[in-house]
Amino acid sequence: MSDFDFPFPEELIASSAVEPRDSARLMVLDRAQAAIRHQHFYDLPKFLRAGDCLVLNETKVLPCRLLGRKSTGGKAELLLVRELEPGFWTALASGLKAGMCLSFPGGAAAQVEGLNDDGEYLCRFDRCDLSAYLVEHGHAPLPPYILKRRRQPEAADIRRYQTVYAAAAGSIAAPTAGLHFTIRLLDELRALGVRLAKVTLHVGRGTFRPVTADDARLHPMLPEHYRMPEADAALVARTAREGGRVLSVGTTSTRALETLARQAGGFGPGEGWTSLYIYPGHEFRVVGGLITNFHLPKSTPLFLAAAFVGRLRLLSAYQEAFRERYRLYSYGDAMLIL
């Protein structure tokens, strides 16, 4: 773990997103060259070519952060993680006890039934379907390091903490590399001849759960659900067959693609749960390029990026990003690794 630890300037953590989305900065890192280029995300078409394929994670973030009250009168905050059965959810929270009743705006209520083996609270709501309730009363599940820099939530977060192509609801965090795309930029890429394929990996705790083992290789990844339809898988396979580059947008797309490449019979469509853990030494079977943000030290997304470009090369690029005052983490700037 100490190999992936480094001082980072907290003042560079982005607490709000830039507008327009594609005005974020873009660090371009070519694995075949030593130079780093400093661009903007709207410059992305300069580095892609006809026949390349971008793979986008079209998962949609649930407004799954709930603010309410305990039966004792204190504040209660839940981050819903996973629905086990209608109205019965696991959630992240603090200071709750089994048997405690929670109330939320709009008349919703839940009872805490204890903890599971992963340290998540088990909460049973007074309604079987929370979908409509979350749309009306839920908040964007922003990471804690953003929330602690805010005096108050921003109404724009419900829209901004979501990709413009989000379609399949199910994530508790955004696939942040995709936040930089605009409809205009996607249209420009299509006009260039770049193929756009969709995959779904619902971001759960597996993506951002802290690593506690001293040996990073011993960290157990929690499973997350993925799906890639036949037409999109065929587009990726065709790109590889014709010599084009398959570029994954984000670490979640990467994990889904590399999982699909490890199926019996090789890469193809599929659906299931993946606990694939990518760290240095991983053999990439389908991904030939990566768009990603700047991640926390000692985190699994950082390990994945290091596996793709090399640990020392990645950490050197991060030091360059710090000197150049790049904005960091979920609402921050991006890196293109070719």
**What homologous superfamily is domain 2-61+159-337 in, according to CATH?**
QueA-like (3.40.1780.10)
- Domain locations in the chain as residue ranges: 2-61+159-337, 65-138
Residues of the chain with pLDDT under 50: none
Q: For residue range 94-143, what is the model confidence (pLDDT) as tens digits?
A: 999 999 999 999 999 999 999 999 889 999 999 999 999 999 999 999 88
pLDDT for position 152:
61
pLDDT digits (tens, 9 = 90+) for 247-295: 999 999 999 999 999 999 899 999 999 999 999 999 999 999 999 999 9
Other residues' Cβ atoms within 10 Å of the Cβ of residue 251: 29
Question: What is the per-residue pLDDT for 154?
Answer: 67
Query: Which pLDDT score, from 0 to 100, does residue 93 have?
Result: 95
Helices (H), the chain: 131-137, 144-147, 157-160, 183-192, 205-208, 230-241, 251-260, 300-309, 311-323
CATH 1.10.10.10 assigned to 65-138: no
Q: What's residue 153's pLDDT?
A: 58
Q: What pTM was estimated for this model as a whole? A: 0.93
